[in-house]
C-alpha cells in the first residue's frame, strides 16, 4: 500500500526498522538469493510449539511448519519479533530474521540443547546441516498499490491530499455471481478503508489522481482469521498462519471487469493485457509475472515458497501477520514496490498469487500470497476467467446434419469444470461437459433449420457466443430385427428398429406396415403380408411432417424346414421280404423334394403336403441311410435323415 502526501509517497504501514536489525537464518549451504517455501493453505499452522531440546533433535526438518514450530519454541523470545520468513528452497530452508544474538561464530549445537534453555538464531542454525543464516531487517513491509481492474491502480483519499493506493488483483464474482474484485487484505488497513476509486493514468509523476468510484471493500483477511497476528511471536504458540486477501464488492456498474491482467505496455494500463484462463500454484522454479500500478508488469523466478511474516497496523512488536505464499528476488525494488500491493501474479495465463510484501534486505525480496488458499477463506468468491468461445468441428451452414445426432466441438484450453451451454430461441436446450477440451451434444430430433449459439461456462465466467446453424435432416431409420442378411425357418412377426422420436416409420417391399417412433427412439411394426421362401427384401423409411428420410433396405431369407420321412421308419430293421420299396413323407406343397438312397438321388414335388419316391433297386441286407431335402424359393432346407436296416434273406 502507498500513501501520497503532496508529491511524496510514504508507507501507510510502520516499517520493520522499529525492530532491531540483526542476522537471518538459512538452512543449507549455498542458496539462491531469495526465499523458497512449501506453500500450504491458511490455518494449517502447528497449534503448539515444543520446548528447546525436545523437538527435531538435530535432524533436518520435514517441512516448513515443523521448522517454524521448532524455531519459535527454541530461540530467545527477544528475537521472535524480528523474524521475516521461514521458507523452503531447492537446497533446504531459509530463516530470515533480524534477531541474531551477537557477533562471532555460532556455538556448537550441543551447547544449546539444555532442556528449557533458549538459543540464539545462530545456535539454532548450527544444529542442522542444511540450515544457513540470512540477515533481514525484520518483518517485511506491505506494498502500497491502487485498487484497479487487472493490475491497475485504485485507492482512496484518507485525508486531504493523502491517498492510500493499491493495485487490483483479479476480476471476480461474489458467491451470488455479482461482479467483484480481489486484492490484498492489508489494503483495507484492517477494515479502516471502505470505499475505493479507480486511479487515473498518470502522464507526469506517477500519480494521476483518483477517478470514478470502483466499489467497497467486503471481506478481508491480513494474517490469521479476522486479521489476527501470529501467536508464535507472543506466547510461543504457533498459530494464525493465514493469507493476505480482500474482496471489493458493489462494483461501479459503469466499469467493465475483464478476465485479464494489464501488461502495462508503454506504461498504459489499458495495453498489453494477459488473459486469466485459470488458477495454478507457484512452485520452485516457476516463472511468474506481477502486474502493479507502481512498477508495472515485471517477471522473475520463484525461488522460495513457505511462510513470511509482515508487520501489522498496531505498530507493536506483537502485531506480526503470518502469510503462506512464495517469494522471488526484488533487487532495488525493481520487481515490486509500494503501491503494487494486491496486484495480480501470473504464471503464463494462470493466476497464482497476490502481491503482498517487500523487504530491502538480502538484495531485496518480494513476497506473494498464494491465490488458492486466499480464495478459500473468502466464503465463495471466484475469479472471472477468460473462456474461448466454443468451436464446432463441422463448420456451420456447410452440410446437413441428421436430426437427433450428436454435434461435436472443442473449447481450446478450457479449465476443469467448464461446460458448454447450447442456446436456441433464447432458451438453453442442452448443456455439454468439456472433457480434455472436447464436447458434444445431441441435436434436436426435428428436421428443418436449426439455429443456435454456444457459450462456454465455468462457474459465473462465460465466453462470448459462438453462432451455429445447420439443416437437420431425417436420417434413414435403422432396422434392428430381423438383422440384415439373416435367415431362419420362422418368419418374423414384427420388424423393429430405431429412429427419430415422433417420426412415422413405413415398411414397403416383401412386407408392409406403419408405426411411430417412441420417445426412447425405438419402433416396432407388425409385418403385414406374408414372407416368401427364399430372400425377402423390404425398405424402411421415416417421415416427420413434410420431411422424409431416405430408405433403409434390408433382407431376410425364409428357409424351408426340413421335410419329414415317414417311411422307412428310422431305427427299424425290416425283414428281407418286407424291405422298403419307396420313401415317403411330408413337406411344403409345391416344394421340390430330393431323396438320396445310397448313391442314387431322385426328385419329386410335394403335392398337398405329401411326397413319395420309389427306391431304384431292391435293398440288400444291412444298414441303410435315406436323406431328403426340400427346396422352396430357390432355398434348400436342412436334410432329413432316416437310418434303418434290412435283415438277411432266410435260408431255405
- Tell me what the pLDDT averaged over the chain comes to: 83
Q: In sequence order, what are the residues at sequence separation of 6 or more whose Cβ sits closer than 8 angstroms to the Cβ of residue 173?
A: 179, 180, 381, 382, 383, 384, 459, 460, 461
Which tens digits make up the pLDDT trace of 343-365? 999 999 999 999 999 988 777 99
Residue for cell digits 528449557?
116
List the grid coordinates of 527: 409385418
Q: In sequence order, what are the residues at sequence separation of 6 or more whose Cβ sits closer than 8 angstroms to the Cβ of residue 72?
A: 49, 80, 83, 232, 233, 236, 238
Count other Cβ atoms within 10 Å, centred on residue 176.
8
Helix spans in 106-258 (H) = 121-126
Task: Give the pLDDT band of residue 252 (cuts 50, 70, 90).
Answer: very high
Tell me how far apart the alpha carbons of residues 147 and 168 are, in angstroms, rounded to a whole number.
5
Tell me how far apart the alpha carbons of residues 581 and 564 are, in angstroms, rounded to a whole number.
17
List the grid coordinates of 56: 527435531
Please calculate the CA angle 292-296-301 and round it to the nearest 5 degrees: 85
The pLDDT value recorded for residue 57 is: 52
Which tens digits make up the pLDDT trace of 593-608? 999 998 899 999 999 9
Which tens digits make up the pLDDT trace of 139-179? 665 543 333 468 999 999 998 889 999 999 999 999 999 99
Task: Give the pLDDT band of residue 91 (cuts 50, 70, 90).
Answer: confident
Higher pLDDT, 531 or 78: 531
The pLDDT value recorded for residue 48 is: 22
DSSP string covering 259-281: SEE---GGG-TTSS-EE--EE--
What is the distance of C-alpha 582 from the center of its chain?
Answer: 81
The pLDDT value recorded for residue 311 is: 86
CA neighbor of 447 nearest in space, from 424, 472, 469? 472
Helix (H) or strand (E) holding 376: helix 371-376
The pLDDT value recorded for residue 454 is: 97
Q: Give SS3 for 125.
A: helix
Q: In sequence order, what are the residues at sequence separation of 6 or more whose Cβ sits closer than 8 angstroms to the Cβ of residue 290?
A: 151, 297, 298, 299, 300, 335, 336, 340, 343, 344, 345, 346, 355, 366, 368
Count other Cβ atoms within 10 Å, centred on residue 581.
12
The pLDDT value recorded for residue 134 is: 77
Q: List the single range of 73-82, 183-192, 328-337 with lowest mean pLDDT.
A: 73-82
- The whole-number average pLDDT for the span 203-216 is 81
Q: List the single range of 122-126, 224-228, 475-479, 577-581 with lowest mean pLDDT.
A: 122-126
For the chain, the domains span 1-378, 391-472, 478-558, 564-646
Q: Is 592's pLDDT higher than 80?
A: yes
Question: Are the folds of 391-472 and 478-558 the same?
Answer: yes
The answer to whether residues 69 and 61 touch, using CB atoms and an 8 Å cutoff, is no
Beta bridge partners of 393: none
The pLDDT value recorded for residue 117 is: 66
Task: Give the pLDDT band of residue 281 (cuts 50, 70, 90).
Answer: very high
List the grid coordinates of 14: 510502520
Look at the chain and count its residues.
Answer: 652
User: CATH top-level class for 478-558?
Assistant: mainly beta
Q: In sequence order, what are the residues at sequence separation of 6 or more whose Cβ sits closer than 8 angstroms to the Cβ of residue 57?
A: none
The answer to whether residues 370 and 182 touch, using CB atoms and an 8 Å cutoff, is no
Tell me how far apart the alpha carbons of residues 626 and 638 are, in angstroms, rounded to a whole number.
14
Hey, what's the torsion of the CAs at 590, 596, 600, 601, to 10 degrees? 20
Percentage of the chain exceeding pLDDT 90 = 63
Higher pLDDT, 182 or 311: 182
The answer to whether residues 160 and 372 touch, using CB atoms and an 8 Å cutoff, is no
User: CATH top-level class for 391-472?
Assistant: mainly beta
Tell me how far apart the alpha carbons of residues 221 and 323 are, in angstroms, rounded to a whole number.
10
Count other Cβ atoms within 10 Å, centred on residue 219.
19
Tell me how far apart the alpha carbons of residues 492 and 505 are, in angstroms, rounded to a whole number.
18
- The whole-number average pLDDT for the span 524-544 is 95
Tell me the C-alpha to C-alpha distance, in Å, between residue 24 and each of 7, 97, 240, 328, 460: 35, 4, 22, 17, 45
- The whole-number average pLDDT for the span 361-370 is 89
The answer to whether residues 61 and 54 touch, using CB atoms and an 8 Å cutoff, is no
Task: Give the pLDDT band of residue 200 (cuts 50, 70, 90).
Answer: confident
Task: Give the pLDDT band of residue 609 (cuts 50, 70, 90).
Answer: very high
Side-chain-side CA neighbours of 332 within 13 Å: the count stands at 2
Tell me how far apart the alpha carbons of residues 13 and 143 are, in angstroms, rounded to a whole number.
9
The pLDDT value recorded for residue 179 is: 94
Q: List the single range of 109-113, 124-128, 211-215 with lowest mean pLDDT.
A: 109-113
Tell me how far apart the alpha carbons of residues 15 and 11 are, in angstroms, rounded to a whole number.
8
CA neighbor of 165 nearest in space, from 196, 191, 139? 196
Task: Give the pLDDT band of residue 191 (cuts 50, 70, 90).
Answer: very high
Q: Would you identify the CATH topology of the domain 564-646? A: Immunoglobulin-like (2.60.40)
Q: Is 249's pLDDT higher than 70?
A: yes
- The whole-number average pLDDT for the span 258-263 is 92
The pLDDT value recorded for residue 233 is: 53
Tell me how far apart the alpha carbons of residues 641 and 618 are, in angstroms, rounded to a whole number.
19
DSSP state of 166: E
Render the burial of 92-102: b for 16+ CB within 10 Å, e for the rest: bbbbbbbbbbe
Q: Give SS3 for 126.
A: helix
Which tens digits make up the pLDDT trace of 11-24? 322 222 222 222 22
Helix (H) or strand (E) holding 68: helix 64-74
Tell me how far apart the alpha carbons of residues 553 and 541 are, in angstroms, rounded to a whole number.
9
Amino acid at each position: 500500500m502507498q500513501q501520497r502526501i503532496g508529491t511524496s509517497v510514504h508507507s501507510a504501514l510502520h516499517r520493520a526498522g522499529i525492530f532491531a536489525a540483526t542476522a537471518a537464518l538459512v538452512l543449507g549451504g549455498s542458496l539462491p538469493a531469495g526465499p523458497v517455501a512449501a506453500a500450504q493453505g491458511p490455518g494449517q499452522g502447528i497449534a503448539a510449539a515444543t520446548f528447546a531440546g525436545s523437538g527435531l533433535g538435530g535432524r533436518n526438518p520435514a517441512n516448513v511448519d515443523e521448522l517454524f514450530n521448532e524455531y519459535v519454541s527454541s530461540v530467545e523470545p527477544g528475537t521472535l519479533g524480528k523474524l521475516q520468513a521461514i521458507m523452503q528452497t531447492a537446497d533446504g530452508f531459509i530463516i530470515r530474521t533480524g534477531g541474531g544474538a551477537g557477533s562471532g561464530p555460532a556455538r556448537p549445537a550441543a551447547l544449546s540443547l539444555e532442556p528449557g534453555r533458549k538459543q540464539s538464531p545462530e545456535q539454532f542454525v548450527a544444529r542442522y546441516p542444511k540450515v544457513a543464516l540470512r540477515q533481514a531487517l525484520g518483518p517485511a513491509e506491505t506494498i502500497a498499490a491502487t485498487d484497479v481492474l487487472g493490475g491497475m491502480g485504485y485507492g482512496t483519499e484518507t485525508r486531504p491530499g493523502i491517498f492510500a493506493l493499491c493495485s487490483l488483483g483479479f476480476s471476480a464474482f461474489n458467491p451470488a455471481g455479482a461482479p467483484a474484485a480481489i486484492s490484498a487484505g492489508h489494503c483495507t488497513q484492517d477494515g479502516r478503508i471502505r470505499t475505493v476509486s479507480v486511479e487515473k493514468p498518470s502522464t507526469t509523476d506517477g500519480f494521476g489522481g483518483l477517478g470514478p468510484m470502483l466499489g467497497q471493500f467486503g471481506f478481508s483477511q491480513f494474517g490469521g482469521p479476522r486479521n489476527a497476528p501470529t501467536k508464535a511471536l507472543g506466547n510461543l504458540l504457533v498459530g494464525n498462519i493465514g493469507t493476505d486477501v480482500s474482496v471489493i464488492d458493489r462494483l461501479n456498474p459503469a466499469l467493465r471487469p475483464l478476465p485479464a491482467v494489464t501488461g502495462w505496455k508503454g506504461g498504459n494500463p489499458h495495453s498489453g493485457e494477459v488473459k486469466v484462463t485459470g488458477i495454478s500454484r507457484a512452485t520452485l522454479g516457476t516463472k511468474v509475472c506481477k502486474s502493479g500500478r507502481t512498477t508495472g508488469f515485471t517477471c522473475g523466478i520463484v525461488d522460495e515458497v513457505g511462510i513470511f511474516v509482515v508487520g501489522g497496523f498496531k505498530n507493536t512488536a506483537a502485531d506480526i501477520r503470518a502469510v503462506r505464499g512464495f517469494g522471488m528476488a526484488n533487487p532495488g525494488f525493481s520487481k515490486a514496490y509500494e503501491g503494487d500491493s494486491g496486484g495480480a501474479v501470473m504464471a503464463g495465463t494462470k493466476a497464482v498469487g497476490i502481491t503482498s510484501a517487500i523487504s530491502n534486505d538480502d538484495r531485496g525480496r518480494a513476497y506473494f500470497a498464494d491465490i488458492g488458499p486466499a480464495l478459500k477463506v473468502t466464503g465463495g468468491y471466484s475469479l472471472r476467467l477468460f473462456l474461448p468461445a466454443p468451436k464446432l468441428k463441422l463448420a456451420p451452414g456447410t452440410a446437413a446434419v441428421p436430426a437427433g445426432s450428436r454435434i461435436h466441438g472443442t473449447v481450446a484450453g478450457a479449465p476443469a469444470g467448464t461446460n458448454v451451454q447450447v442456446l436456441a430461441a433464447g432458451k438453453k436446450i442442452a448443456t455439454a461437459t468439456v472433457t480434455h477440451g472436447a464436447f458434444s451434444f445431441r441435436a434436436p430430433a426435428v428436421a428443418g433449420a436449426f439455429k443456435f449459439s454456444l457459450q462456454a461456462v465455468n462457474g459465473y465466467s462465460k465466453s462470448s457466443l459462438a453462432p451455429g446453424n445447420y439443416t437437420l435432416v431425417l436420417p434413414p431409420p435403422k432396422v434392428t430385427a430381423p438383422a440384415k442378411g439373416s435367415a431362419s425357418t420362422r418368419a418374423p412377426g414384427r420388424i423393429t428398429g430405431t429412429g427419430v422420436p415422433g417420426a412415422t416409420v413405413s415398411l414397403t417391399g416383401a412386407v408392409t406396415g406403419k408405426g411411430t417412433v417412441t420417445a426412447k427412439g425405438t419402433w416396432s411394426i407388425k409385418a403385414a403380408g406374408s414372407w416368401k421362401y427364399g430372400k425377402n427384401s423390404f425398405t424402411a423409411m421415416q417421415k416427420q411432417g413434410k420431411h422424409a428420410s431416405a430408405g433403409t433396405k434390408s433382407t431376410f431369407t425364409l428357409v424351408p424346414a426340413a421335410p419329414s420321412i415317414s417311411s422307412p421308419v428310422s431305427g427299424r430293421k425290416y425283414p428281407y421280404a418286407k424291405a422298403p420299396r419307396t420313401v415317403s413323407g411330408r413337406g411344403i406343397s409345391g416344394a421340390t423334394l430330393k431323396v438320396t438312397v445310397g448313391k442314387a438321388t431322385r426328385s419329386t414335388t410335394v403335392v398337398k403336403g405329401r411326397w413319395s419316391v420309389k427306391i431304384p433297386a431292391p435293398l440288400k441286407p444291412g444298414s441303410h441311410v435315406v436323406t431328403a431335402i426340400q427346396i422352396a424359393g430357390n432355398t434348400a432346407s436342412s436334410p432329413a435323415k432316416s437310418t434303418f436296416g434290412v435283415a438277411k434273406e432266410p435260408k431255405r
